[in-house]
Chain A
Amino acid sequence: MTSTFSAPSNRLQQHVVDLRQAWQGMLTRPIATLSTLLAIATTLLVPILLLTISSGLTQALDPYSNSPRLTAYLIDTSDEAMMGVVSKRLLAREDIGVVEVVPKESAFAEFANISGFGDLLGELESNPLPDALIISALQLDFTQLERLAVELGAFPEIDLVQLDAQWIRRLQGFTQLIKKFGLLIGLAALLGFFLVIVNTTKLIVQQSEDEIRVLKLIGAPDTFILRPFLYSGLAYGFFVAVLAFILQFAIIAAFGSLIDEFLLKYNASLPAQVDFSLGFTWLLFLLLASSFTGLLAAGVSAYQEILKLEP
């Protein structure tokens, strides 16, 4: 007569019912649930924003850091032939990809055009600008690039070598700092989230003491009693992340243009609009981290409380 039938599909069905019940349980306390979700989402928003900005800046700077450039200014007596010789020597190197020759005449014409001082410059007796070579290095980090600059500076035909990407280096350093800071705050926020869910779950279990005792009386195992609390923690984690993402998108939409303007002050050749989105991998990671934290916190808290309750 004892019925112990339990097919996997029935267990799955039961999990769906428990998930629905956990969701309904959250909806029965809408204000408390929403305020908890908002409080945690706001805490998570800060690291998410920092990571978003860091990710956007990294993407924007990527093309520059992958092909860093040097400008080599040749000596006053240089001519077209010297430029050709030096250019060939440079291109023979394995660490240099492209060498762009900028004769002093075209540099002067471009400067006169851009600066708006064309008439004034026309009064000059001679062209004060040197011949220049714009050198794109191949996949070098900044230390290697600096070493290359020193090496090229030693060429007798070259008067001065200027590293074009110093500002990128500083900005990348700053970006890395933002990223590390974001991750650190993120960990602290997740810890805070963990503690909030531990406390919230503990209160809910305590409010359900009588029901839990009845369930134990009629043979419910701890896992059965635990399940709705686990789903509740999971749902908290999931919705906290989703809410934080929505807030993040809203803030980036509102202030993204300001950041673009700031970046343009660094370099006019940056893209007019930087893509400030975390990317699918980060979104998925944060969603999973948040959901797992909620699940773990609810599980730890509920299990401890359930163990204490005996009929």
Chain B
Amino acid sequence: MIKFEKVFKRYPGGFEALSDVSFSVEKGELVFVTGHSGAGKSTLLKLILALESVSSGNICVADLSLKDLSRRQIPKLRQRIGTVFQDHQLLTRQTVADNVALPLKISNFPKFEADRRVRAALDKVGLLSKASYFPPMLSSGEQQRVGIARAVVNRPSIILADEPTGNLDPDLSADIMQVFQQFQKVGVALLIASHDINLVNAMGCRTLVLENGRLLK
């Protein structure tokens, strides 16, 4: 589902954020990306979302070669990926339910089906009772869970998560990881960037370790 082939990413000024990175994540696989701050985890996720372009090498995501991707195809790529952002990226002037429903609105889902899926997603992250709240009324952890509900509501084939449990307590972190595992079981490919070594070890999944833009294992 995700394939990196000798990917290099250099920023103007010569800084090399990723250097000769090759790996793949298959359907139904949950893979962690770890590394210190500045190791290249966020750059890696940005490349998958086509927020940045590769300097050399190629990335294939859900059978799409990002090198050949036109501007018009980028939204279609992002619609196939459910993304949990570290800084939540919620619309503050829309309710929790409306935020979660956004990917469904973009995909023109029937309202009835969308409402059902939104309720189910919010129920999974324990926020059904706060569906009519606005994001600023929620704690950072709750906002993170809204972001997770939004990422999974469209039942994407790939889920990317940047520090998804960074603002959550251990119990909630475990619950969220369970949600991710449920998606893994039905064939979704998950790539999770995290520096929470305890969580990574507890999950016992394949782990990619980045250091100074290079993949160590």
Contact = CB atoms under 8 A, between A and B. Distances in A.
Interface of A: 1-7, 9-11, 13-14, 17, 210-211, 213-222, 224, 310-311
A234 B150 CA distance: 31
B102 interface: yes
B143 interface: no
Given A1-B187, A2-B156, A3-B154, A219 B109 contact: no
Nearest to B93: A211
6 contacts: A2-B62, A4-B107, A214-B91, A217-B78, A224-B106, A310-B51
B116 interface: no
**Closest 4 interchain pairs by CB?**
A219-B78, A6-B108, A219-B79, A221-B75
A13 B79 CA distance: 20
B107 A5 contact: yes
B83 interface: yes
Contacts of B150: 218
Contacts of A14: 105, 108
Contact of A1 (B76, B105, B186): B186
A220 B106 contact: yes
Interface in B143-194: 150, 154-157, 186-188
Contacts of B90: 214
A13 B91 contact: no
Interface in B56-103: 62, 72, 75-81, 83, 85, 89-93, 102-103
- Size category, B interface: 35 or more
Interface in B185-206: 186-188
Contacts of A9: 110
A211 B91 CA distance: 6
B36 interface: no
Contacts of B106: 215, 218-221, 224
A2 B110 contact: no
B157 A219 contact: no
Contact of B78 (A3, A6, A218): A218
A9 B108 CA distance: 9
Contacts of B75: 216, 219-222, 224
Contacts of A7: 108, 110
B111 interface: yes
B33 interface: no
Q: Which of B79, B80, B107, B111 has the most CB of A within 10 A?
A: B107
B89 A214 contact: yes
A23 to B, nearest CB: 16
B49 A217 contact: yes
B110 A3 contact: no
A220 B79 CA distance: 8
B70 to A, nearest CB: 12
Given A1-B155, A6-B109, 15 more contacts: A1-B188, A2-B154, A3-B107, A5-B108, A7-B110, A9-B110, A13-B111, A14-B108, A211-B93, A216-B75, A217-B83, A218-B79, A219-B75, A219-B78, A220-B106
